[in-house]
Structures are given as structure tokens and as C-alpha cells.
Amino acid sequence: MYNIQKAVGRLSYAPKLKEIEITDIKKGLAVFTPKPDKPVSFTALKATLKDAGYVLSAAEITVAGALDKEGDLWIVVVESSGQRFVLEGPGVATAVASLDVGSPIEITGNWTTIRQGTNVREAITPAEKKQAFHLKSRNAFFFAPATFTIATDNAEHPNPLVIPPAPIRVTSPGLTVYKGGAITPRLYLIRQSLGPLKVNRQMIDLSMSYTPSPQVQLEAELPISRTSFRDGVTSGSGTGLGNITLWTKYRFFRQVKTYGDRQAAARFGLELPTGKTDAPSHSQINAPAFVRQQLTPINGGLSPHFDLAFSQAGGRFIFGGNVEAIFRSERDGFRMGHEQRVNTDLEYVLLPREYNKPGGELFLILETTFVHRGTGRLNSVPVAGSKATEYYLAPGLQYAARPRFVIEGSVQLPVVRNTGLLALRTDVNVLLGVRYLF
């Protein structure tokens, strides 16, 4: 819902973001008071929401001004902005009853933009069964809280759905804020083993994304890793930068309807050879060269990533998944095998039970990862025993403390590990992170 606030905030007449209030998240209702000296436009509001991926079903506006008349048309003139609103519909006669030209009036009704040739004007259709409130003072003023309904088929069947900014480990087909983005720092605590060799990794992964259009998202990912190891005889550690990855995501499908939101996106990433390549020597640890290379922060050199993601949300449940292929190249004579990944994501909105405003959502998450890694290479020679086929479960929690701030945690545990004799085995992978939308 922050995306709605961000979209409305781009309008010339919009107030500050914190003054755009989501009043009913189930029905997609929001209220805001435009700047008093700026003319408003229903068409502009509808267009900016469409750019952000939403459908404006209706808008109600309240205007205070002075009554005027053009031929048979009654007009409300706003003093502060000079904008003129045409009154139309069967409720006009009741709304202006006993009033003269120049009388102050405050009126509420359905808001639209009407076109008559080259003439474009804002129009208000007063409610037939509601008597407009007439001001006693002649000092005309303007306050226009505009209430609009987004992506609902009708009032009886609202869309009680809010999608979190993204799953934790699974690629989301959704985008971040249009003409905005997200900053996501994450801490990974990983424990690996291979016989007597025990490995602990602490990795900070910082990603920043920006969404320049309703279909495209750009992202950069920067990992920094510290690795410590021991085999009962020797021990050591090292810290270094991992490979930076640049991503672009294109959302090619989205269908928003009552009780559902479906999305699909393609993502391409390019992993750059920026990471530290220095591996422990044989004197530091008695292990084969291919095993020692796995103690660096990298899995190879320049590597393209190809990813397809899909999600479907309905009610309190969200299901998604993605498939990814990674083609690795050698760097300093080393690379892990090419990878194929299949991930799934199942989410349930646990809290709040009564859901009217954004913020305070608690999501229960269960993610799965299937990964197959082919034969690795060392000095361009295939390494026997480097293949791996693994399957993991990752239960997690995600808490949207505010619409722009999310806290998340996940523990990934192995279910199946069919790994070669020279491939490190992951015993546990803990993820702690936050996400801030801007």
C-alpha cells in the first residue's frame, strides 16, 4: 500500500506522503487532502495509479467554494486555486436548493473528469439521498479529501489482500515502489562441513533496487563474507568481498482482481568477478585444492543468471516460486559447477486478524529450495566428486512494522543432501534482514 501513497505523492496537488491515509485496506480505500492552491485532476490521479499497477474504480471528493452558474450549469468555484467544478446529475437541484449565485457551499459527491470538445473540466455528482452542507460564512475555502477504491469488483466482495514487499529467499515477480525502490541489508550465518572439516561463514549482503517504470526493476547486490575453518588440527579465517551481481527484472504479467493478484517476471543477473580469490594454502589446512577454493567468498568468475518467477495471492495465502539457471566461468582456474534451482514460497498472513490499515502484518513463511550443481573445474580440468543435488526447507517470519519497513528472519535446513566427496555440505543457513522502501 506504500506504493499507492508513493504514486499519489507524485501528483502536483498531492500532500506529504504521511498525509495520504489508507483507511480501509480490504476495500482499497485511501483519503488525502490536496494542496489548497493547486487544481486537482481525476484523470491525472487515475493515470498515476495505473502507472503504479492499480485500477482506480471510483473517487469521492469534498469541495468548499462559492456557487456560480454558466447557463444551465451550476459551478463551484474554489477561491484558493480558482478551479471550477461542474455539478451534474439528478442530485444537483437538491444540493443547490434555496441558494443563489455567490453563496458559499460545501459539497460531496462522485468525482470525474468530463471532456466537451477541447474543454476539460472536473465534475462532481452529488449523492441523491444526501443533503449538501451549506456554510454560513462567505469565506470560501477548499479542502478535498479524495476517497478512491482500488482493484475491487464491488463493495460486497473486496480484495482483502496485501502482498509483502517480497519473499525472503525466493525471487518475487513483484516490483518495489514505482519511481522508488528498496534497501535490503541481510546477515547470513552459515555452517558447513566435510568430514572433520568445519566451516562457519558470516556474510553481509547489501542490495539496493530501483523501479524506474511499472514493469522494470534494477538492482545491485554487494556481499562481504568472513569465513573461519578448523579440521581438528589446524584452523584459520579470512574476510573479503564477494562477487557483485547486477540485476534487471521485467514483470511481463500482472492480473489484479477480487481475491487475487497474479504476477510473473523474468530476471537477468550478471555476477561480476570482483570477489576475493585467495584460498588457504595446503600448509594452512590439509585438504584438496578444490575444497580449499570453496573457502573463498566466490564460486567462480563472470556468471550470468537467468530467472523466471511467478506468484499468486488470494485472501490470507500467497504462493510463489521461481526457477533459476546459473552458468559459471572460471576465475584463477576455479569454478563451481553450473547450477539449476527451483524455489517455492508459501505465505500466510497471521496478523492482524482485523485488517483495515497497512502496517503491523506478520507473515508465516515456508520456502523450499531444490538445487542441482554440476561438475566443477580446477585449472580447466573437471573435478570428480564436486557435484551436488540438495533440497532444503526454510521456515521464516516476516513482520511489516510499517508500510515502508520490514523485518525478516529465516532458518534453512537440509532435507536431502546428495553431495560429492569434495563438495562442502550446508548444515544450517540462518538469515536475518530488514527492508526499507523509499
C-alpha cell at 62: 469534498
- How are strands ordered across the β-sheet holding 381-382? 334-335, 377-378, 381-382
pLDDT for residue 211: 94
Supply the pLDDT for residue 1: 60
Could you report the per-residue pLDDT of 79-111, keeping only the tens digit for each?
888 899 999 999 898 888 888 999 999 889 999
pLDDT at 23: 76
Ordered by where they begin, the domains of the chain are 2-150 (no CATH), 180-437 (2.40.128.130)
Q: What is the pLDDT of residue 19?
A: 84
Predicted TM-score of the model (pTM):
0.78
Q: What share of the chain is helix, strand, coil (3-state, %, to 5)?
A: 5, 55, 40
How far is Cα 219 from Cα 76, in angstroms, rounded to an integer? 48
With contact defined as beta carbons under 8 Å apart, do 410 and 367 qualify? yes
Q: Determine if the peptide bond prior to 167 is cis (ω within 30°).
A: no
| Torsion sign across C-alpha atoms 348, 353, 359, 360 | negative
Say whether pLDDT at 131 is over 80. no
> What does the pLDDT read at residue 357?
66
- Asked whether the beta carbons of 127 and 108 are under 8 A apart, the reply is yes
Least confident range of 45-54, 199-208, 354-363: 354-363
What 8-state DSSP symbol labels residue 289?
H
Q: Which uninterrupted H or E stretch holds 426?
A: strand 425-437
Residue 233 has pLDDT above 80, yes or no: yes
Would you place residue 377 in the very low, low, confident or very high pLDDT band (cuts 50, 70, 90)?
A: very high
Pairing type for strands 104-116 and 260-271 reads unpaired
Distance CA 430, CA 318 (A): 22
- pLDDT at position 260 over 80: no
Q: What is the pLDDT of residues 31-75, one digit of tens each?
A: 888 888 889 999 998 888 888 777 788 888 988 899 999 988 999
* Backbone angle region of 232, left / alpha / beta, with phi > 0 → left and psi within -120 to 50 → alpha: left
DSSP structure string for 89-145: STTHHHHTTT--TT-EEEEEEEEEEEEETTEEEEEEEE-TTSPPBPPSSS-------
Strand partners, 435: 406
Q: What mean pLDDT value characterizes the chain?
A: 87
| pLDDT tens track for 314-351 | 878 999 999 999 999 999 999 999 999 999 999 999 98
Residue 153 has pLDDT above 80, yes or no: no
End-to-end Cα spacing for the chain: 13
